[in-house]
Structure 1
Amino acid sequence: MPTARELKDALFDAMNAHDLDRVLACYSPDAVYVTPAGVAEGHEQIAWQFEHLFKAFPDLHIAAWYKVECDDPAVTEYTLVGTHTGPFLLPDGVESAGTGRRVVLRGACACATENGRIITDRDYYDQLELYCQLGFHLEPDQAA
């Protein structure tokens, strides 16, 4: 049975290959994937998250640069790079067309496993850093 570290490494390999089947094979059918953009529960929602990411950043590549060596959970710091050329859903529900901008995003994640699959995967990155690199700007609320 794979360790949490082996599963997380396999997940990063599948992400770099943009192989959705391999991505989902890392997760338990009832897994929970938590990101700053929201929570995905189960394969259907997790698949939607990764499909969206692969379409928005077709050259997406993720590289782990620090791995905590422990049994469970697997903790990893990474850099994600990609060019925004496809549709990207913003927090207000509006879909942004590709900007052509390249992003370099640092993040960290922790995943827990059970029975050889990821059951919870928590991904942490600075959403504001991502949006700024994409060329989006904060605007004050008119009521403020």
Structure 2
Amino acid sequence: MVMSAPWNVKRRLTEAINAHDVHRIAELFTPDGVLVSPAGVAEGREQIAWIYEQLFKGFPDCRLTPWYEVYDCDAPLMAEWTVTGTHTGPFLLPDGSEIEPTGRRITIRGSCASFVENDKITTHREYFDQLELYTQLGLCLTEPSTVS
């Protein structure tokens, strides 16, 4: 199967993620590109690179494996994937706190939608279950505190 130019860009993103090459990841986005994920919204190459740096710090062996891709559509490019890794470094939480390494392995399923124009990613949206991730790291929910 011959892939379209946009799909080639998306494949290069997977390769850069698996190489943990934040510079190459950032260069695949437009200068004002946007990454949307459960971890937050990153706007521009610098913020996008920073988000991936945090992932690679927490999971230095993380690997992204796409297992389903919708080839007959280029806008958006849709894929389902699995990320695996071992939590051996500090991992930044959305509230700004860090989880110290637990040594636990994770396997997270997710999906993404990417928009590509002129061989650059304008928007990349990732969807995964944060509760699934946090449970695998040994975290648990707590009752919300009541405000008096």
Q: Structures share a fold, TM > 0.5?
A: yes
Q: Shorter-chain-normalised TM-score: which range?
A: over 0.9
Q: How does 1:75-94 map to 2 (within 5 A)?
A: 75-94=78-97
Q: TM-score, normalised by structure 2?
A: 0.93
The equivalent position to 2:12 in structure 1, one of 10, 13, 27, is 10
Structure 2 regions of 5+ residues with no counterpart?
none
Q: Conserved in 1, the CA contact under 8 Å of 2:26 and 2:46? A: no
Structure 1 regions of 5+ residues with no counterpart?
none
Aligned AA (2:19):
A
Aligned AA (1:112):
F
Please state if 1:143 is matched with 2:146.
yes
The equivalent position to 1:120 in structure 2, one of 114, 119, 123, is 123
Give the Cα–Cα distance (whole angstroms) in 2 for the partners of residues 90 and 53 of structure 1.
10
SS in 2 for 1:30: strand
Task: After TM superposition, give the deviation of residue 26 of structure 1 in Å.
Answer: 1.1
Moved more, 65-74 or 132-141: 65-74
Q: Conserved in 1, the CA contact under 8 Å of 2:59 and 2:85? A: yes
SS in 1 for 2:61: coil
Q: TM-score, normalised by structure 1?
A: 0.95
Q: How does 1:54-69 map to 2 (within 5 A)?
A: 54-69=56-71
How many percent of aligned residue pairs carry the same amino acid? Answer: 53
Aligned AA (2:129):
D
RMSD: 1.2
| 1:89-123 CA distance string (max 9 Å, x none) | 12322111111000000000000011110000000
Aligned AA (2:79):
T
Task: After TM superposition, give the deviation of residue 72 of structure 1 in Å.
Answer: 2.3
Task: After TM superposition, give the deviation of residue 29 of structure 1 in Å.
Answer: 0.9
